[in-house]
Structure 1
Amino acid sequence: MKLSVIGTGYLGATHAAAMVALGHDVVGLDVDADKVASLSRGEVPFHEPGLPELLREGLASGRLRFTTDVTDVGASADVHFLCVGTPQKPGEKAADLTYVEAAIAALLPELRAGALVVGKSTVPVGTAAGLAERVEAVDADLVWNPEFLREGFAVDDTLRPDRIVVGATSERAEKTLLEVYASLVEAGTPVVSMDYATAELVKVAANAFLATKISFINAMAEVCEAVDADVTLLADAIGHDERIGRRFLSAGLGFGGGCLPKDIRAFMARAGELGIDQALTFLKSIDDINVRRRARTVDLAREMCGGSLAGQRVAVLGAAFKPDSDDIRDSPALDVALACQRAGAAVRVYDPHAMDNARRDYATLAYAASAVEAATDADVVLHLTEWEEFVTMHPSTLSAVVRQRHIVDGRNKLDRELWTREGWTHRALGRRSL
């Protein structure tokens, strides 16, 4: 089939390359000429394992190309995936739909009769119904098909999804979308059909649930610290209950990135607009718990430095909000690094892939080319993004270069018995000291 992808950021670039892998012809549209040129050369402007190879394979096949010309898209495709961003409005909790509105306004005049617009962007509930009226006015259809990509696993999540959600009011629209995904459906991927509003809610409800689970165990970490208990053992024990499960019960620095924080805030804002804000007041507590973990990590660093960070050297291992990504949006690691600097510490940051993004947005911090360089003469080392490089690092790698053998494991992923045997003082959120 002939498809277009509107917006070639993280979601769009991944979706475009994956749709070619499923056998379709795809043209990606973006207003950013530099991004289009980069993707056309087979260069992915962000870090995502497996995507560069998939992109280059698509380009080499001749079935994938990128453009800045919306008329090209209208003439080349009958199915158009809307993959633009919906960031948080500056100074507000609500989602900014500027890019969605601009994309629809540009696309509508180019739609051919019978075309299908597929919404994948995360939008406030009620958005799709309004867009559908405009799309249907030009004899086209709209279907809402939310994305569920995990950064670091986006390629696999697109080519082997755990479900396909279809929000539609037209049998024609649903039939066309399922033709796009025919190979996935034949492979056994469940299809869940529903109305627009429910489809819009699926993504934000899933993110709200995950955020709740993460913040729940972090709240338990606060309790464990107060009573000298161990949150990791607590999570192991309650995780055996099949009603609860162990996944996402890892206490630590909390969540960040471009989805969970802004999505739960936008969800709260939309609930307020609908007059049902009391139904989601618990999400405010979820957000608060998440932010408190960052402050507590700074407190642990301060305690290790004798009560003050002024004049201390702090090594920060990690800048991305999660491993296998260079995304620093709402990064807990960089928030902690900046807080330590504001408290008077000299901070050096190292991350395997997020250094360029961190330098651009956090220019006041100092950066190192390796973990060893970051830790040289450090009074405390903060492990804040659980890259495999850090988790598997032997303590002796840093022992010879630090000034004091103090480490705060903000992700509860290090082997604390090993680090302690090597002469390090180890602290972690929600765990007693050894």
Structure 2
Amino acid sequence: MRISVIGCGYLGAVHASALAELGHDVVGIDVDERKIAALRAGRPPFFEPGLPEILSSAAASGRLRFSTDIADAAGADVHFLAVGTPQTIGGTSADLRYVDAAFEGLLPHLAEGSLIVGKSTVPVGTAARLAARLAKEAPHANLAWNPEFLREGFAVKDTLEPDRLVYGVADERAASVLDQVYRAAIEAGTPRIVTDYATAELVKVAANAFLATKISFINAMSEIADATGADVTALADAIGHDVRIGRRFLNAGVGFGGGCLPKDIRAFTARAEELGRGDSLAFLKEVDAINMRQRQRVVDLAIDVLGGSVFRKKVAVLGVTFKPDSDDVRDSPALDVAVHLKGLGAEVVATDPEGVENARMRHPQLDYTTSAREALTGADLVVLVTEWREYRALDPIETGRLVAERRIIDGRNVLDLHAWRAAGWQVRGLGRP
């Protein structure tokens, strides 16, 4: 099929490349000239495993091109809206100006029978509003909402092999067009849910809200574990055997971050209040508060381990991205911890395999290195806050030879406490005795 993808950020660049890899003829469009130049050269503007390979493959096939001119979307059968919906400045609602601008820009270029498909995470009611406008200004076209469920670090796999497909449509014609787009996934047995606009919009934000709640729940339990001497990891193992609960995402630690979960639960709460149903999602404010509190708990642990003050102590911060296998530092708990420690007078050296440049642009006051060895050398305290594989695999004996003092805070509860303590380390975690 002939497809346009409006917005070539994280979602759009992956989506466009994957659809071209599946055999569609795709044009990706974005107003950012530097981003488009990088994509044309086969260089993703962000780190995502597997993306360089499918980007190069799709471009070499001739099925993928990029442009800064939305007029190049003309003639496409399907137009995907994949622009960002950030949190409004000074508020918690979703900022829809990019969605509205992309929609507005497409209107003059819609062919007979073409389909606009929303991928962006939006407040419930957005699709209905856009559909009403489409019916007035371009009745020859149709609208669907098809939320994305990408995990950073696994986005290529999640696009090529999704765990479900959700279509929010007003009629079956739109669903049949999407079936053609996703034919490979459907033939592979991917579950397909066809529903209305509002439900499709809610699926995405409800999934994020549930995940955030599960993470904050176990983090709240880690606070109780600290107060009682219990082990939150053993607790999670025990309750995780209950099939109604499950063990996944029951890992206590410094909390969640990134460009989706925090802003999406805040926007969901704001939308509920607009609908007069604020009480229904009031609990999400506490979910958010628990999550933010975890960052301060790590800082407090550092102060405690260093005898009441971090002033002029060298602290090696392992990780600045909000999760491993990503260079994304948006709302990163790891970077937040590093900045807080620096503000208290610590000599912070932060390291990360992929996120250093992005972190430096946001917080140039920190000292950075891509070498974990350099960060560790002479450290009075090590704080592990992003669970990159290379940090989880650190040898406690070898690492002990580099540092000034064998003290480590495991902000993700991923280390073998017995092995590290046997090597002479003072180890502190969240909710672990």
Identical residues among aligned pairs (%): 61
How many Å separate the matches in 2 of 1:47 and 1:345? 30
What is the letter of the counterpart of residue 70 of structure 2? V
Structure-1 residue corresponding to 2:270:
269
Report SS of the residue matched to 1:199: helix
Structure-2 residue corresponding to 1:115:
114
How many Å separate the matches in 1 of 2:135 and 2:399? 62
Report SS of the residue matched to 1:107: helix
Alignment check: 8 A CA contact 1:372 1:397 kept: no
Structure-1 residue corresponding to 2:364:
363
Structure-1 residue corresponding to 2:85:
86
Alignment check: 8 A CA contact 1:32 1:68 kept: yes
Structure-1 residue corresponding to 2:3:
3
Report SS of the residue matched to 2:308: coil
Deviation, structure 1 residue 377: 1.6
Structure-1 residue corresponding to 2:64:
64
Structure-2 residue corresponding to 1:406:
407
How many Å separate the matches in 1 of 2:280 and 2:105? 36
Alignment check: 8 A CA contact 1:2 1:79 kept: yes
How many Å separate the matches in 2 of 1:50 and 1:135? 36
Post-superposition CA distance 1:24-45 (Å, at most 9, x none): 1100000011111100110001
Structure-2 residue corresponding to 1:306:
307
Post-superposition CA distance 1:196-222 (Å, at most 9, x none): 000000000000000000000000000
Across the two proteins, how many residue pairs are aligned to each other?
431
Report SS of the residue matched to 1:173: helix
What is the letter of the counterpart of residue 347 of structure 1? V
How many Å separate the matches in 2 of 1:328 and 1:48? 13
Post-superposition CA distance 1:46-93 (Å, at most 9, x none): 010001000000000000000011111113x12000000000011111
Report SS of the residue matched to 1:192: strand
What is the letter of the counterpart of residue 91 of structure 1? G
Structure-2 residue corresponding to 1:105:
104
How many Å separate the matches in 2 of 1:234 and 1:184? 38
What is the letter of the counterpart of residue 25 of structure 1? D
Q: Does 1:382 pair with 2:383?
A: yes
Post-superposition CA distance 1:178-210 (Å, at most 9, x none): 111111111111110110000000000000000
Alignment check: 8 A CA contact 1:86 1:123 kept: yes
How many Å separate the matches in 2 of 1:27 and 1:369? 35
Report SS of the residue matched to 1:48: coil
How many Å separate the matches in 1 of 2:393 and 2:33? 40
How many Å separate the matches in 2 of 1:396 and 1:216? 34
Structure-2 residue corresponding to 1:42:
42
Deviation, structure 1 residue 170: 1.8
Q: Does 1:30 pair with 2:30?
A: yes
How many Å separate the matches in 2 of 1:362 and 1:376? 22
How many Å separate the matches in 1 of 2:14 and 2:223? 38
How many Å separate the matches in 2 of 1:145 and 1:298? 40
Deviation, structure 1 residue 135: 2.2
How many Å separate the matches in 1 of 2:294 and 2:113? 51
1:397–1:371 Cα change, 3 Å: farther
Structure-1 residue corresponding to 2:293:
292
How many Å separate the matches in 2 of 1:5 and 1:342? 42
Post-superposition CA distance 1:266-312 (Å, at most 9, x none): 00000110110000000001000001110000011111100111121
How many Å separate the matches in 1 of 2:275 and 2:106? 29
Alignment check: 8 A CA contact 1:359 1:365 kept: yes
How many Å separate the matches in 1 of 2:158 and 2:246? 21
TM-score normalised over the length of structure 1 = 0.98
Q: Which moved more, 1:181-190 or 1:222-231?
A: 181-190
Deviation, structure 1 residue 369: 3.1
How many Å separate the matches in 2 of 1:280 and 1:249? 21
Structure-1 residue corresponding to 2:53:
53
How many Å separate the matches in 2 of 1:369 and 1:81? 37
Structure-2 residue corresponding to 1:227:
228
What is the letter of the counterpart of residue 27 of structure 1? V
Structure-2 residue corresponding to 1:14:
14
Deviation, structure 1 residue 397: 3.1
Deviation, structure 1 residue 350: 0.2
> Superposition pairs for residues 235-254 of structure 1, below 5 Å?
235-254=236-255
Q: What RMSD, in angstroms, separates the aligned Cα atoms of the two structures?
A: 0.8
Moved over 4 A (4+): none
What is the letter of the counterpart of residue 320 of structure 1? T
Structure-2 residue corresponding to 1:145:
146
Q: Does 1:124 pair with 2:123?
A: yes
Deviation, structure 1 residue 22: 1.4
Post-superposition CA distance 1:372-411 (Å, at most 9, x none): 1112221110000000000011023321221111000000
